Structure 1
Amino acid sequence: MLMSSAQTEVAQRSFARSLPALSILALAMLLGFAAMQSFGTVQEGAKAEMGLSDYALSLIQGLSAALPLALFSIPIGILVDRHHRVRIMIALVGAFVAGTWATALASGPWMLFVARMLAGVGATGALTAALSLSADLCAPDQRGRALVIVGLGKSLGQAAAFGVVGELFGWFVAHPAAFGGIAPWRGSHLALAALATLLMVPLFFLREPPRREVATGLHAPFRVVAGALWQRRGFLLPLFLGQVSVVMADAAGVIWAAPVLARVFKLQPQDFAAWMAPLMFVAGTAGAALGGVSADLGQKGARRGGLLIGAIVAAAIGIPAALFPIAPSVPAFAVAFGTLILCGSLTGAATSVALTVFIPNELRGLCIGAFLAVAGLIGFGLAPTLVAATSGLLGGEQHLAGGLAIVGVATSVVSLIAFIVAMRRAPIGQRPI
């Protein structure tokens, strides 16, 4: 029997048929988030070589990511809404690959700062394009599963930032004459940059999918698009606040986890790489899967904002998990840290699904870009420095663990309240508003 045009479109947008393209997007996210977070694993080596303080490290790790996000995320989002997304994504992947090369070759703090800027804007900008592409590759009722695949790549990248980079660091420590006696933290980034250059090739085989669920037109004036987004502020503002607060807790945790392990438990990157990488991967993957599944299930119920129930539960669990820096032992540290990453990944997946389900196609890139700008400016720009400032108020750099715990718990409480408000203000019905 012949299928109708609607049935044909549904078949073409099935999860199974979209899996190869989604896998390429996941690979790009793996590379991007490995590049973006790689420096945090080996930053103690750079600190010793360049004589950097915790405050300087917080700027290199945080502000270097926040500044380009604040400046470029919205323009990138608009480009994603209106132009060829695959080409945009290739350019952004090239940016974070270049940033990884530049990190390895940085001659001083300022060059290192610029290199981390490139890595940050490339990875997060590519995420905007990947989410937009994923939404058009699958039908709305399968979108949670599609975003799980992209989230899987992100989780693998975060794990690789600890595991692969940590193991590379250990190899260069064990072979001090390799590559002309290059410092281990630099050698780790050289190897990562070479691998990323090779693995970005599949992106050139990705095809642009047709855009669907368009409400105002792809080329509507910006004031019309911005106005349409502003009309949705009752739902979007608390949703943004909830996820930005989660990003603050997660960014601070990921950036300062390695220094806490080094200073409190006297571990080096090669000592914790073997267990930190699987922990990051399992927690991130499980969180993304649970977030996608809970969002898809929430869409089937009649409860208003049911799509966000999983995010609320995860935000609540994240409050005690944020105490991981003051855990009494390494195993307790690992359990709490892994739980925090799982909860952050779950809320991120649920938020992404909410944006792709409730927001029309031509607004998604701008909406995601605006979120990344705010999340970058506050989450990456403020959170790491806030931890350094809090530890200073507690008595100095030796109180890093306490400062990190205070910031993590406070931001997790804010996220819980904000997600509850967002759920109550969610649009009625699972369709773009």
Structure 2
Amino acid sequence: MESIENANRALSAAGATASRAKFVVGALFFINMVGYLDRQILTLFVQPIKHSLGLSDGQMGLMQGAAFVLAFTVAGPFIGRLVDQRNRRNVLAACIAIWSLSAAASGFAHNATQLFIARMGVGMGEAALLPAALSLIADYFDATRRGKALGFFLTGVYAGAGLSLAIVGFALPGMDGLAARLAAAGLPIETWRLVMFAMLLPGALCCALLVFVQEPPRAFAASHAAPLDWSGLRDWVHGIALYVPHHVSFALITFCSFATTGWVPTVLIREHGFAAREAGMTYGCLLAVIGCAAAYLGGVIGDYRSRKAGGHGRVAVAAWCLPFAAAGFATVALAPNAGIVLAGTALLSAALGVAMVIGLLSIADLAPARSRGQISSIYLIFTGLIGSAGGPACIGYANDLWGAPGRPLSLLLGLVCLAVLGAAALLLWICLGKIRARTVR
């Protein structure tokens, strides 16, 4: 009887743990969605912000990418170390407060410098999101289920990026009406500023949700770590021949993804006569549906290939995606109408979505458990500087330099990203060789 009771208690505890793990993934999904909403919200307001603050396309590219990534990069290693050694839930809650306040502060900007500083605050706060989530998911799920859980978490990237466009596009008439009423009352506030102020609400909801998240036992004794333990950096240097081609290849894939997200709405507005609301709702819904499906599918396929061929099989999935992404960019570059642009965008978004999940998930395979926070932060420096910052800014400056009536933005977007994907393919081939050599040893 006692053995039966012990077995029942064990089953009950296992069920409670599984339920808690699912709740944590759901909470992290919502937080990820809000984070990308705050990050991508400028995309829909390129034209009004340019007019209000007197910025160029290149400067708007910097606001969408470099301003965020500069702080993200500087803060990342320090926050990664905190993630490895402190309560991850509390670190994440503090950083949510920082990025939400900074997103709202963007609405007070009256020149490029002020907007740049506010966007840096968003980047500093969001530096904790992926390292903390990856570390928590790795401790809540074993390696055979980790990809599916992380894939669901990463659907928040596309839900946030896509829904930020769709929801704001849907709400724009109401915001315009509110701005008109405030102006009539002697308080002239532009619509884009009101949207920025509203970013405080979802951040507060995220912090409230984290109250119910429990810190899981770690896969290593974090409490024994020295206060200034930088073992993750040493582990990264030890594996530099693998980590550099891995990080740079996925950074170039991220470049293409952020270039697309940052400029396709503008392509629809400038080249195909879409209104801002129409462009936001159309592209936002497409990105949310295609991206979420691709992110989840990437986790599932990655787990399957990992069971078959280990870390090499998981990373190989990303290499298979690149020809499909290239076909999508070629379609965008040559598209004669908006429908073809959206079809090409759907194809490349699906392929890049799967590949980007593999990039982050493979860190959990390749990095030692004690160093996941720090090594994932180093990975995010590469994807941030090259991808998040480089993608939007390079396309913006390319259009400033070479854009012309016979050389539309869509053509430049497609050609630049095709060249970048070629470099990513070469580096992935090198990375796969290093993983195979490590496995043989």
Shared fold (TM-score, shorter chain, > 0.5): yes
**Deviation of 1:163 (Å):** 0.7
Q: Which residue number in structure 2 is paired with residue 253 of structure 1? A: 260
Alignment pair present for 1:373 and 2:376: no
Report if the CA contact (8 A) 1:66-1:378 is conserved: no
CA distance in 2 between counterparts of 1:157 and 1:258 reads 15
CA contact (8 A) 2:249 2:428 kept: yes
State the Cα distance separating 1:410 from its structure 2 match.
1.3
Q: Distance in 2 between matches of 1:176 and 1:17?
A: 43
Classify 1:12/1:46 alpha carbon distance in 2 versus 1 (closer, same or farther; 3 Å): same
Quick check: 128-137 or 173-182, which moved more?
173-182
CA distance in structure 1 between the aligned counterparts of 2:347 and 2:136, rounded to whole angstroms: 29
Instruction: Report the Cα offset of residue 390 of structure 1.
Output: 2.4
Structure 1 unaligned blocks of 5 or more:
none
* Cα deviations by residue, 1:367-417 (Å, 9 ceiling, x for unpaired): 111111122122233332322332244245974323222221111122222
**Aligned position for 1:282:** 289
Partner residue, 2:342: 334
1:62 is matched with which residue?
65
Structure 1 SS opposite 2:215: coil
Query: Are 1:238 and 2:245 matched, yes or no?
Result: yes
Find the residue that maps to 1:301 and give its secondary structure: helix
Measured after TM superposition, the shift of residue 221 of structure 1 is 6.1
Distance in 2 of aligned mates of 1:147 and 1:340:
21
Equivalent position of 1:309 in the other structure: 316
Please point out which of 11, 17, 29 is paired with 1:26. 29
Q: Percent identity?
A: 22
Give, in whole Å, the separation in 2 of the partners of 1:424 and 1:107: 51
CA displacement at 1:97 relative to structure 2: 0.7
Match of 1:206 among 209, 213, 220: 213
How do 1:328-407 and structure 2 match up within 5 A? 328-395=336-403, 399-407=408-416
Q: Which residue of 1 aligns with 2:105?
A: 102
CA contact (8 A) 1:316 1:413 kept: no
Give 1:187 deviation, angstroms.
Answer: 2.1
Instruction: Give 1:391's aligned amino acid.
Output: N
Q: Distance in 1 between matches of 2:222 and 2:216?
A: 18
Determine if the alignment matches structure 1 residue 117 to structure 2 residue 120: yes
Deviation of 1:341 after TM superposition, in Å, equals: 2.1
Q: Distance in 2 between matches of 1:141 and 1:429?
A: 20
The letter for the 1-side match of 2:98 is: A
Cα pair 1:215 1:361 within 8 Å, conserved = no
Distance 1:106 1:326 in 2: 38
Shift of the 10–212 alpha-carbon distance from structure 1 to 2, 3 Å rule, reads farther
- Note closer, same or farther for the CA distance 1:217–1:425 as it changes in structure 2 (3 Å cut): farther
Give, in whole Å, the separation in 2 of the partners of 1:188 and 1:223: 40
In the alignment, is the contact (CA less than 8 A) between 1:148 and 1:288 conserved in 2?
Answer: yes
From 404, 407, 418, the equivalent of 2:427 is 418
Cα pair 1:29 1:150 within 8 Å, conserved: yes
Instruction: Give the counterpart letter for 2:416 in structure 1.
Output: V
Q: Distance in 1 between matches of 2:18 and 2:250?
A: 26
Alpha-carbon spacing, 1:114–1:8, altered in 2? closer, same or farther (3 Å):
farther
Q: Distance in 1 between matches of 2:226 and 2:13?
A: 26
Question: What is aligned with 2:272?
Answer: 265
Letter in structure 2 aligned against 1:352: L
Larger Rg: 2
Amino acid at match of 2:428: F
Q: Is the 8 A contact 2:97 2:203 kept in 1?
A: no
Equivalence for 1:72: 75
Give the CA deviation at 1:26. Answer: 0.9
Aligned residue type for 1:145: K
Amino acid at match of 1:411: V
- What residue is the counterpart of 1:408 in the other structure? 417
SS at match of 1:381: helix
Provide TM-score, normalisation by structure 2. 0.89
Q: Distance in 1 between matches of 2:73 and 2:374?
A: 13
1:83-232 paired onto structure 2 within 5 Å? 83-174=86-177, 176-180=179-183, 181-212=188-219, 218-219=225-226, 222=229, 224-232=231-239
Larger CA deviation: 220-229 vs 383-392: 220-229
Q: 2:55 is paired with a residue of what secondary structure?
A: coil
Aligned equivalents of 1:239, 1:151: Cα separation in 2: 19
- 2:321–2:354 Cα contact (<8 Å) kept: yes
Q: Is the 1:15–1:145 contact (alpha carbons within 8 Å) kept by the matching residues of 2?
A: no
Counterparts in 2 of 1:255 and 1:291: CA distance versus 1, 3 Å: same
Distance 1:424 1:402 in 2: 34
Contact 1:358-1:427 within 8 A present in 2 as well? no
What's the CA shift string for 1:232-256, capped at 9, x where partnerless?
2232222111110011111111111
Kindly provide the amino acid, as one letter, of the partner of residue 113 in structure 2: W
Could you tell me how far 1:223 is from its partner in structure 2?
5.4
- Asked if structure 2 preserves the Cα contact closer than 8 Å seen for 1:170 and 1:269, the reply is no
Post-superposition CA distance 1:306-344 (Å, at most 9, x none): 112221111221112123254222121112112222222
Supply the RMSD in Å over aligned alpha carbons.
2.8
SS of 1:209's equivalent? coil
May I ask how many residue pairs the two structures share in their alignment? 430
